[in-house]
């Protein structure tokens, strides 16, 4: 169930003008299918569903780099909720190659990586 009609992802059927679009809506929807561009938002996928930067490969020898340390943490605001992110240092790579990873992905793929407040 959608929490709001604005949370739905609908297909744009036709661009009617520079400021008006026709959307493909469900048959049971009681809303007119034409919308002004100001009422539409660009779809942004949730970062905690992405597996971006989890596995780093060196092109020269395809070596897997595992995380070895959490350098920092931050709260990141996504549309209507906050997620915790950690700055992960990767074994065998310089600190400049550290990446921000969501807490959910760190716990899922690297459960042995201990995250303690005194480490940060």
What pLDDT, on a 0 to 100 scale, did the predictor assign at position 91? 86
Domains and CATH numbers, the chain: 8-39 (no CATH), 56-119 (2.40.50.40)
> Which H or E run includes 105?
helix 103-109
pLDDT of amino acid 74: 92
User: Residue 82 in contact with residue 74, Cβ under 8 Å?
Assistant: no
Average model confidence (pLDDT) across the chain:
74
Q: Supply the pTM of this predicted model.
A: 0.45
Question: Residue 120: CA atoms inside 13 Å, Cβ hemisphere, count?
Answer: 12
Phi-psi label, residue 18: left if phi above 0, alpha if psi -120 to 50, beta otherwise: alpha
Question: Which conformational region is residue 70 in: left (phi greater than 0), alpha (psi within -120 to 50 degrees), or beta?
Answer: beta
Q: How does pLDDT run across 12-65, given as a tens digit for each residue? A: 778 888 888 787 877 777 777 787 878 777 766 665 555 555 454 444 444 567
Q: Which residue has the higher pLDDT, 107 or 12?
A: 107
């Amino acid at each position: 169930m959608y929490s709001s009609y604005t949370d739905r992802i609908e297909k744009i059927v036709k661009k009617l003008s520079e400021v008006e679009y026709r959307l493909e809506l469900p048959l049971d929807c009681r809303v007119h299918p034409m919308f002004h561009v100001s009422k539409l938002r660009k779809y942004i996928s949730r970062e905690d569903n992405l597996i971006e930067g989890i596995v780093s490969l060196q092109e020269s020898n395809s070596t897997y780099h595992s995380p070895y340390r959490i350098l920092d943490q931050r709260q990141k605001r996504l549309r209507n909720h906050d997620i915790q992110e950690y700055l992960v240092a990767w074994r065998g790579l310089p600190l400049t190659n550290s990446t921000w990873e969501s807490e959910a992905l760190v716990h899922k793929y690297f459960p042995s990586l201990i995250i303690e407040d005194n480490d940060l």
